[in-house]
Amino acid sequence: MKTLSQRSDLVVIGSGLAGICAAVSASREGATVCLIESRSCIGGRIGKEIQFPYDFEGTTNYAYQRETGILDEIKTTIYQENQEGNYCGQERALISWIRKQERVELFLETQLFEVKKNSAGDKIESIIAISSQRGGRIIFRAPYFIDCSGNGTLSQLANAPGETGLDKREYEKSSASSTPVTFRAAASMQLTVSAKPIPFKLPSWVSLKWEENHQSAKLDLLESLDKQIQGVHNVEWLGKAKNELSVNSADLIWSAWDYLKNRSPMAERAQNWFLEDFSPLTLSSQGFRATGDYIITPEDMESGKHFYDSVALGRAPLDVADSLLCSPRGKIALPQPFEIPLRALYSSKVKNLFFAGEHSSATSRASASFSHPPTSAQMGEAVGVCAAFCISKNRLPRTVAKVGNVHALQKRLMRVNHNCSLLPIEDSDNLIPESKVIASTTLGSFVGKSTAEKLDSCPLEGLIQFPVSSSSIDEIYLYLESSEDCTVEFRLLECSSSLSTTPGSCLVSSSQKIKKGGARWEKIALESPVAKKGWHFIEFTNNQKVIFYEQSNTAVGLLFHRSIKESKSGFLNPYSRYLPSLPHSPHLSSSLALEVFPQQHVYDVGNVINDKIRPDHLPNLWISEETDFRFPEYLEFHWEEPLDVSSVEIIWDATLEFLFPSRPQSFARPIVPSIVKEYKLYYMNDVGHWEELLEVTNNEFGFSRHSFETVKTRAIEIEIIQTHGLNRAQVYQVRAYS
């Protein structure tokens, strides 16, 4: 067998989202990267071979949750190119995107089997793999390695310290766990419908009997099938099983199929069902967890603990003993996103080994949250940038993670639009905060020009979210109609203390009589002083006859929250009875038509020069008045003295409350309408005239970075010519550097 040698700055094991984000983020920082995958396809658990869900819908109490940075670019690109709306199209789009990245070489069908360390045993010098595609052994040498394998293959072969298996005691002592810890496994299956009945007989070698499965796992599959038959479905096991270590996806799938075809309430409907394929991988809860300099706990996640070295944010729900692995059922929604410290993403003993994903340094129960693909992707981008940072600065990860050093890494992550902390990252190099900013117009009213549409039904209860910056709320109006005289209970609630979009204390309540009549603005008796600026909520209950009107494309911060009971997803939320009603396709949110007096000045232009890049307790962005863009909207930044400017970065509003769906879909318009499509950048010359620096005609992403020849100027201007459909301009932050 021939032996090949491969040298690079960085080797990444595993091409799931964590590995892809790690490899590409490092390459964009200048590192050469070898990305190694044992299988023939990429994407990990969301790839075409495995087909697990990308996300857990509706399990967060923070509405503005979508990840930015490389992950947002990846998902946006996929939905532009995957017109088929399936896993094969997603795979093609993802491969095409990776092939375009400079300094990344992808090695498919390359199985890692040996790790060589230095004489001290504290650094990896090389790894050896067998490549089916390249027909031989490959020795990969690099100063740094990242384990994104999902099961900690590289970490285990390197004898990095860690633990294997479920820590039952951790689950049993948790007040959230209602049952003893049991065996868990998951696979996916793809169904279609045949033209004729297809009988099924269970093979004798299948070790599982579906009736012995936990009720929640059986219910989850039946409800998935009830929504649609054809397509991909999760199949999960929760309970005791014989020979747990040998249970594979075939055991799981055929036991479920036997039940569905022969004994289930759907058996008659299932006569023509045909099992087209199922995943070869069985996801289980028995994996390896590496040990870093910090071990993340569920208490860290639930409390929203701040870490000085936080480099990524996660939003996955928290695991309990009877949670399912690939479904929100049984999981606990956290009050806010949680921080992930750098100290949990490198080995405590192997100095040049990083990790990202569920095998990172965490307790058994906490690690389950890191299998959430968007969360593992954020970890991947963080360690990719950190690895490149270590290479350029000639520092070890432990040195970078020290109090005096880690801020430089955090600032670098912020500069690539990666959200790494619950707190803003200070950026003293940014010239914009020292400028005077002028905007063409500013949105003042919550009520848009578009016509409000009557809701199809009469919700019994609900929650209307809106931002407040005034010292009092003097008048509130809702647009509604009523078929009869009735009484509705209203309450005005302030925001909670956490970084969430959940209500806190009640400020005032009203039992209001609504007279029969057609559509009109109804004044709601909820006047109150405002104790703290931020989200406020109007809760209505006991509504039998009132029909509200819904306004589409509402400004950031206006949301309607429905009762969690309506979702029927089975997840647990101790923090709110309501769930924000978020868009399921790339467009802005809708909310109930609302007007508040005094008008709330929450979209002022000063927001673009602060250090916040998404909503927290307030929207934190500038929004122009509604316009047809016959005349461009603009932002001007003026300094007292001329400055050298050589780069400008802009964070547009990419509608962060829109979440990409759990499985691939096809969208006719995959770009959210709020993103600015066409704009120009100007600078003021030494005689006070504007000169064009650059023009962009088809921007598709929420983050733009421009570098150019240094200009000395007293002012720059961003002229916004067109969005992807929204009738106003929306910008979170502008940064400029010399």
Q: What is the share, in percent, of the chain residues with pLDDT greater than 90?
A: 86
CATH code where residue 575 lies = 2.60.120
Q: What is the share, in percent, of the chain residues with pLDDT greater than 70?
A: 99
DSSP string, 236-252: EEEE--TTGGG--HHHH
pTM: 0.95
**151 & 212 share domain:** no
- pLDDT of residue 738 exceeding 90: yes
Identify the CA nearest to 398 among candidates 340, 348, 356, 363: 348
- pLDDT (0 to 100) of residue 721: 98
Q: 403 with 341: CB under 8 angstroms? A: no
Number of domains in the chain: 4
For Cα atoms 420, 422, 428, give the angle at the middle one, nearest 5 degrees: 70
Q: 716 with 683: CB under 8 angstroms? A: yes
Please write the tens of the pLDDT for every residue from 274-318.
Answer: 999 999 988 877 789 999 999 999 999 999 999 999 999 999 999
**551 & 622 share domain:** no
Spatial separation of the C-alpha atoms in residues 263 and 681, rounded to whole Å: 66
How many angstroms separate the Cα of 692 from the Cα of each of 63, 391, 638, 708? 38, 38, 16, 12
Please write the tens of the pLDDT for every residue from 450-498.
Answer: 788 999 888 999 999 999 999 999 999 999 999 999 999 999 999 998 8
Spatial separation of the C-alpha atoms in residues 463 and 64, rounded to whole Å: 17
**635 & 537 share domain:** no
524 domain residue, yes or no: yes
- pLDDT (0 to 100) of residue 176: 66
β-strands 676-684, 283-284: how paired?
unpaired
Q: 734 with 648: CB under 8 angstroms? A: yes
- pLDDT of residue 166 exceeding 90: no
336 domain residue, yes or no: no
**36 & 149 share domain:** yes
CATH code where residue 303 lies = 3.50.50.60
Q: What is the largest CA-CA distance in the chain?
A: 87
Phi then psi for residue 562, to 5 deg, are -95, 165
- Write down which residue in 549, 577, 597 finishes a domain: 597
Q: At 138, list the tokens.
A: 């490959």
**670 & 733 share domain:** yes
**191 & 138 share domain:** no
Spatial separation of the C-alpha atoms in residues 560 and 278, rounded to whole Å: 38
Pick 128 or 174 by higher pLDDT: 128
**591 & 669 share domain:** no
- pLDDT (0 to 100) of residue 690: 97
Please write the tens of the pLDDT for every residue from 1-29.
Answer: 788 899 999 999 999 999 999 999 999 99
**241 & 144 share domain:** no
CATH code where residue 711 lies = 2.60.120.260
**304 & 392 share domain:** yes
Q: 736 with 716: CB under 8 angstroms? A: yes
65 domain residue, yes or no: yes
330 domain residue, yes or no: no
414 domain residue, yes or no: no
Please write the tens of the pLDDT for every residue from 709-736.
Answer: 999 999 999 999 999 999 999 999 999 9
Spatial separation of the C-alpha atoms in residues 566 and 587, rounded to whole Å: 22
Q: At 430, list the tokens.
A: 């940014």
- Write down which residue in 244, 264, 284 finishes a domain: 284
Range of the domain at 643: 432-442+603-737
Q: In what helix (H) or strand (E) does residue 623 lie, and over which residues does it extend? A: strand 622-623
**40 & 132 share domain:** yes
Q: At 575, list the tokens.
A: 């923090």
276 domain residue, yes or no: yes
135 domain residue, yes or no: yes
Identify the CA nearest to 339 among candidates 365, 362, 359: 362
What letter would DSSP give residue 44?
Answer: G
333 domain residue, yes or no: no
For Cα atoms 68, 73, 76, give the angle at the middle one, nearest 5 degrees: 110
- Write down which residue in 540, 574, 597 finishes a domain: 597
**504 & 590 share domain:** yes
What letter would DSSP give residue 331?
Answer: -
**252 & 387 share domain:** no
Of the chain, the end-to-end C-alpha distance in Å amounts to 54
Q: What is the mean pLDDT of residues 173-192?
A: 79
Mean pLDDT over all residues of the chain? 94
Identify the CA nearest to 106 among candidates 78, 134, 135: 134
DSSP string, 140-198: EE-SEEEE-SSS-HHHHHTT--EEES--HHHHHT-TT--S---EEEEEEEEEEE-SS--
Pick 668 or 568 by higher pLDDT: 668
